[in-house]
């Protein structure tokens, strides 16, 4: 019985030490990365790898909210277009859960027809200072294959991002 009592005391003291360490980590833990200011997301972003996609981020009338559009850089008869309203988060990312993903067809006469592929898609935009890129992760369809990187560009016609 004494052995069981001693083992219980040791377990209790061990668990007490773990909680003490956990509390210390929470109290003294600091982020080891810089956070991007919300205004720094604003503007044009070109896809880093192929340069085919162009992202625009514009502020809305609501503080902390941004309209984000991702589409092909070139005007094509058919192109995928993502449109979402993202909110700046405490960790420095932009999160959305209202993405409208459409296949946009431009006809010869200039008229446009959008076919909805999905609504209320979700995802995250996050800037990495280490790599100097913006990550876009679309959580809706195959999120493991939908992470793309973008670099800041001055306009849709700028070649510096390619």
For 27-69, write each residue's pLDDT tens digit. 333 344 467 888 989 999 999 987 789 999 999 999 999 999 9
88 has a pLDDT exceeding 70 = yes
Contact 44, 153 (CB under 8 A): yes
Q: How far is it, in rounded angstroms, from Cα 53 to Cα 153?
A: 12
Judged by phi (left if over 0) then psi (alpha if -120 to 50, else beta), residue 132 lies in: left
pLDDT score, position 24: 34
Beta pairing partners, 67: 58, 85
| CA end-to-end span of the chain | 74
Whether the per-residue pLDDT at 14 is higher than 70: the answer is no
Please give the structure tokens belonging to residue 130: 């280490």
The dihedral through the CA atoms of 6, 7, 9, 13 has a sign that is positive
Q: What is the pLDDT of residue 59?
A: 96
Task: Give the per-residue pLDDT at 131.
Answer: 87
pLDDT in tens, 108-123: 888 889 999 999 999 9
Q: Token pair 């592929």 is at which residue?
A: 117
In the 8-state DSSP scheme, what is residue 155? S
Query: pTM of the prediction?
Result: 0.71
- Greater pLDDT, 15 or 86: 86
Rounded Cα distance between 154 and 43, Å, is: 8
Mean pLDDT of the chain: 78
Q: Answer yes or no: is pLDDT of 160 > 60.
A: no
């Amino acid at each position: 019985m004494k052995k069981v009592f001693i083992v219980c005391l040791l377990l209790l003291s061990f668990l007490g030490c773990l909680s003490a360490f956990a509390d210390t980590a929470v109290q003294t833990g600091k982020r080891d990365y810089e956070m991007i200011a919300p205004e720094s997301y604003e503007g044009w972003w070109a896809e880093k790898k192929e340069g085919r996609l162009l992202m625009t981020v514009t502020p809305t009338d609501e503080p902390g909210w941004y309209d984000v559009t991702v589409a092909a850089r070139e005007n094509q008869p058919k192109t995928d277009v993502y449109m979402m309203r993202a909110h700046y988060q405490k960790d420095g990312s932009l999160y959305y859960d209202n993405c409208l993903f459409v296949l946009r067809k431009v006809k010869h006469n200039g008229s446009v027809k959008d076919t909805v592929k999905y609504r209320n898609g979700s995802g995250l935009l996050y800037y990495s200072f280490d790599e100097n890129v913006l990550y876009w992760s679309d959580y809706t369809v195959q999120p493991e294959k939908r992470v793309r990187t973008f670099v800041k560009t001055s306009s849709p016609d700028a070649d510096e991002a390619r």
